[in-house]
């Protein structure tokens, strides 16, 4: 009588077959497998790809899926994502400020993140906005007014970073560091209110402080989540008093693994911020989204790694603390192209200028395609005012040299921003930047609507968009003035919708296209007078997508085994 194989034997047979297939497959599709491993590890070296794939597989087996609530309606997420950091206040010649902003506009950026240093505006004492450091005295606002004027001329929105206290705000001056917070938080509140009031209607977005979880951004002292929350509460309250329409960004937290003291893990710091009562005192969470030592496709999101995937962990903390409806903006993102022969350690990682360009484009694409809660990502940085810092590692993030010679990343971003915008999977609002409106549409405030408002057509109108997915729902408003909509997907009629009803009801989800092929689809919505859009929902059909993903992951695992097995077999034959 033949013995029935035990379950363990069956697994061993299956594993042996898989390994044999992997070895054969490795020779046949080595490049494809390596591209696949790059797609989950962000590594380009073969050895690191194999190690990274194994590490990633272990993460999938041992950690629960990340809880990022991707199908949550979120304000300020569906904005133009292209931003860049600038240091325009350091430019001596106004013509260079003009040229910088013109080049930024020509590269397709919509946002600039510009510091408004407290110490450079309220220089000599409380309420004193006159600059007397040089003769003749002049308004300390003059320089910043010029930046705001030029940004408006070139159609750029400003994210104003408010920090860097003057020495007079501390009784011990700069003894605790030039970046230490003020003794009286109301002094900072006064400054924030003065800036917001001055630029009301011209600047809407303000970031409060920068990287308070690392040295030296909190001065020569231990960092304090509780101290930062206290400062943020004052700043938020005073800013909203000056302009109720302004939007407040929490400081971007630096990626670090240290437990505390002068540097504290961004994850620990954020949770302690929530424990200190930060909820309700910011509109947008800031993050640092540097790739550092791996590329933008690295999917190993764990607390012990600093990589481009790390914002997902910040998002998970926000969801856990009841802030799923708040977006994240990357205050800084980039890769460092420090030369190979540079004498100082490559503390921010090292890539070639060509990799820097490619990685940056891939980062923006990944964030748009996979993270519906991510809004603006601000490249770090456009240029420095002079070349005196070429001996510093951070200099090599630059997009343009001080003489305005562009690096490869500038042209790469110019090409990316010229591409047609796309709506990816997620719950998106009617003001999403990828939606194009034709005709007259008005925004209507309504507390019953998703996020408090919708967009209504006055007369005949159209909405056009491109989405990537398999399913599309429109979030509409039914009511006495509802009107009608005809929806076409890829040139074919998909739905005819009568939106009239006895009572006004916003937030009605109406499926218009389901089970499409995975990929890009063009949508045209023709609306009659009174038709209103309250948002849209894009999904990927889980069945086919999950099956393809599972097969792809199995192939990658097999490929990694094959790549490991080939040199082993070669050594045995030798």
List, as one string, the DSSP characters of 97-120: HHHHHHHHHHTT--EEEEE--GGG
**473 by DSSP, 3-state: which?**
strand
534, part of any domain? yes
List, as one string, the DSSP characters of 15-84: HHHHHHHHHHHHHHSHHHHHHHHHHHH---SHHHHHHHHHHHHHHHHHSPPP---TTS--TTSSS--EEE
50, part of any domain? yes
Write the pLDDT tens digit of every residue in 520-554.
999 999 999 999 999 999 999 876 445 445 545 55
227, part of any domain? yes
List, as one string, the DSSP characters of 215-267: TTTT-SS---HHHHHHHHHHHHHHHHHH-TT-EEEEPPBP----EETTEE-HH
Beta-carbon contacts of residue 496 (< 8 Å; ≥ 6 apart): 484, 485, 486, 487
124, part of any domain? yes
Q: How high is the pLDDT of residue 561?
A: 55
Indicate if 565 and 450 belong to the same structural domain: no
Which structure tokens are listed for 352? Answer: 């070639």
Considering 369, 395, 417, which residue would you say is the last residue of a domain?
A: 417
**535 by DSSP, 3-state: which?**
strand
Which whole number is the average pLDDT over 481-485?
A: 94
Instruction: Report CA 394 to chain centroid distance, whole Å.
Output: 21
Q: How high is the pLDDT of residue 559?
A: 53
Q: What is the pTM of this model?
A: 0.91
Indicate if 284 and 150 belong to the same structural domain: yes
Q: Which structural domain, as residue segments, surrounds residue 88?
A: 82-417
Indicate if 385 and 501 belong to the same structural domain: no
- Find the range with the poorest average confidence among 7-21, 353-367, 476-490, 518-532: 7-21
pLDDT band at 572 (very low <50, low <70, confident <90, very high): very low
The number of distinct structural domains making up the chain is 3
Which residue blocks in 263-405 are alpha helix, DSSP H? 266-275, 311-320, 353-370
Beta-carbon contacts of residue 385 (< 8 Å; ≥ 6 apart): 87, 90, 91, 92, 96, 402
Indicate if 535 and 551 belong to the same structural domain: no
Which structure tokens are listed for 554? Answer: 């199995």
Task: Give the CA dihedral 399, 402, 403, 409, nearest 10 degrees.
Answer: -10
Indicate if 445 and 556 belong to the same structural domain: no
Q: How high is the pLDDT of residue 548?
A: 45
The answer on pLDDT for 160 being more than 60 is yes
Q: How high is the pLDDT of residue 79?
A: 98
Q: How high is the pLDDT of residue 490?
A: 97
Write the pLDDT tens digit of every residue in 40-72.
999 999 999 999 999 999 999 999 999 999 999
Indicate if 506 and 555 belong to the same structural domain: no
Cα 286 from Cα 327, distance rounded (Å): 9
Question: Is-contact 177 191, C-beta < 8 A?
Answer: no
Q: How high is the pLDDT of residue 32?
A: 86
568, part of any domain? yes
Could you tell me how many helices (H) and strands (E) the chain has, helices first?
12, 23
Indicate if 483 and 563 belong to the same structural domain: no
445, part of any domain? yes
Indicate if 195 and 112 belong to the same structural domain: yes
What CATH number has the domain bearing residue 434?
2.60.120.260
Query: Nearest-CA neighbor of 288 among 237, 213, 358, 204?
Result: 213
**Matching residue, tokens 């800031």:** 286
Mean model confidence pLDDT for the chain? 92
Which residue did the predictor score with more confidence, 543 or 121? 121
327, part of any domain? yes
Q: How high is the pLDDT of residue 541?
A: 85
Write the pLDDT tens digit of every residue in 87-105.
999 999 999 999 999 999 9
Considering 393, 417, 441, which residue would you say is the last residue of a domain?
A: 417
1, part of any domain? no
Write the pLDDT tens digit of every residue in 406-464.
999 999 999 999 999 999 999 999 999 999 999 999 999 999 999 999 999 999 999 99
Which structure tokens are listed for 367? Answer: 């964030």
Which H or E element spans position 10? helix 7-28
Considering 382, 417, 452, which residue would you say is the last residue of a domain?
A: 417
Indicate if 404 and 287 belong to the same structural domain: yes
Indicate if 127 and 153 belong to the same structural domain: yes
Which structure tokens are listed for 265? Answer: 């893990």
Indicate if 271 and 297 belong to the same structural domain: yes
Q: How high is the pLDDT of residue 441?
A: 97
Which whole number is the average pLDDT over 480-501?
A: 96
Q: How high is the pLDDT of residue 26?
A: 53
Which residue did the predictor score with more confidence, 29 or 389? 389
Q: How high is the pLDDT of residue 543?
A: 60
Indicate if 412 and 465 belong to the same structural domain: no
What CATH number has the domain bearing residue 249?
3.20.20.80
């Amino acid at each position: 009588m033949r013995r029935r194989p035990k379950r363990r034997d069956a697994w061993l047979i299956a594993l042996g077959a898989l390994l044999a297939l992997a070895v054969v497959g490795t020779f046949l599709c080595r490049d494809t497998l390596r591209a696949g491993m790059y797609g989950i590890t962000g590594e380009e070296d073969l050895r690191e790809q194999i190690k990274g794939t194994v590490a990633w597989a272990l993460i999938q087996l041992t950690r629960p899926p990340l809880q990022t609530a991707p199908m949550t309606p979120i304000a300020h997420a569906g904005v133009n994502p292209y931003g860049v950091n600038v240091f325009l206040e350091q430019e001596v010649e106004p013509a260079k400020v003009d040229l910088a902003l013109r080049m930024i506009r020509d590269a397709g950026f919509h946002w600039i993140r510009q510091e408004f240093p407290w110490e450079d505006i309220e220089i000599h004492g409380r309420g004193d906005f006159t600059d007397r450091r040089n003769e003749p005295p002049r308004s300390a606002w003059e320089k910043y007014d010029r930046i705001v004027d030029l940004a408006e001329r070139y159609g750029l929105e400003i994210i104003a970073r408010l920090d860097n206290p003057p020495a007079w705000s501390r009784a011990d001056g700069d003894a605790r560091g030039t970046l230490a917070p003020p003794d009286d938080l109301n002094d900072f509140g006064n400054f924030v209110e003065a800036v917001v009031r001055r630029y009301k209607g011209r600047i809407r977005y303000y970031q409060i402080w920068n990287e308070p979880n690392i040295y030296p951004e909190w001065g020569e002292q231990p960092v304090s989540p509780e101290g930062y929350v206290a400062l943020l509460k004052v700043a938020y309250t005073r800013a909203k008093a000056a302009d109720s329409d302004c939007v407040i960004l929490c400081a971007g937290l630096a990626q670090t693994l240290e437990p505390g003291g002068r540097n504290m893990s961004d994850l620990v710091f954020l949770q302690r911020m929530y424990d200190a009562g930060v909820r309700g005192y910011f509109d947008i969470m800031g993050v640092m989204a540097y790739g550092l030592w791996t590329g933008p496709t690295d999917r190993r999101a764990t607390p012990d790694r600093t990589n481009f995937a790390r914002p997902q962990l910040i998002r998970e903390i926000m969801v856990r603390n009841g802030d799923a409806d708040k977006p994240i903006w990357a205050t800084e993102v980039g890769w460092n192209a420090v030369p190979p022969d540079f004498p100082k350690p490559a503390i921010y990682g090292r890539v070639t200028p060509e990799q820097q360009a490619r990685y940056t484009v891939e980062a923006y694409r990944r964030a748009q395609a996979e993270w519906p809660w991510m809004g603006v990502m601000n490249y770090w940085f456009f240029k420095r005012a002079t070349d005196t810092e070429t001996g510093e590692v951070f200099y090599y993030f630059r997009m343009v040299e001080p003489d305005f010679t562009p690096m490869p990343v500038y042209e790469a971003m110019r090409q990316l921003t010229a591409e047609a915008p796309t709506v990816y999977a997620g719950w998106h609002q009617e003001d999403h930047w990828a939606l194009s409106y034709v005709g007259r549409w008005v925004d209507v405030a309504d507390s019953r609507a998703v996020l408090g408002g919708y967009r209504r057509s006055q007369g005949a109108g159209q909405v056009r968009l491109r989405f990537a997915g398999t399913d599309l729902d429109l979030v509409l408003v039914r009511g006495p003035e509802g009107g009608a909509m005809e929806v076409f997907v890829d040139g074919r009629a998909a739905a005819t919708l009568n939106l009239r009803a006895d009572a006004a009801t916003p937030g009605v989800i109406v499926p218009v296209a389901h089970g499409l092929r995975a990929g890009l689809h063009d949508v045209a919505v023709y609306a009659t007078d009174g038709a209103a859009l309250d948002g849209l929902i894009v999904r990927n059909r889980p069945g086919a997508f999950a099956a393809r993903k599972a097969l792809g992951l199995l192939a990658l695992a097999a490929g990694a085994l094959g790549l490991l097995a080939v040199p082993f077999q070669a050594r045995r034959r030798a």
